Amino acid sequence: ILNVEQSPQSLHVQEGDSTNFTCSFPSSNFYALHWYRWETAKSPEALFVMTLNGDEKKKGRISATLNTKEGYSYLYIKGSQPEDSATYLCAFSRGSNYKLTFGKGTLLTVNP
Residue in 8, 12, 18, 45 binding other proteins, rule: CB under 8 A: 45
Please tell me the distance from the alpha carbon of residue 44 to that of residue 72, in angstroms, as a whole number. Answer: 21
CB atoms within 10 A of CB 66: 24
Say if CB 101 and CB 1 are below 8 A apart.
no
- Position 98 contacts other proteins (CB under 8 A): yes
Min dist CB 76 to other proteins, Å, is 20
Burial class (CB in 10 A: 0-12, 13-18, 19+), 78: middle
91 binds other proteins (CB under 8 A): yes
Site string for other proteins, 51-90 (x = CB under 8 A): x-------------------------------------x-
Residue closer to other proteins, measured from CB, 73 or 80: 73
Report which of 16, 4, 34 is spatially closest to residue 98, judged by C-alpha positions: 34
Where on the chain is the footprint of other proteins (CB under 8 A)? 4, 31-32, 34, 36, 41-46, 49, 51, 89, 91, 93, 95-105
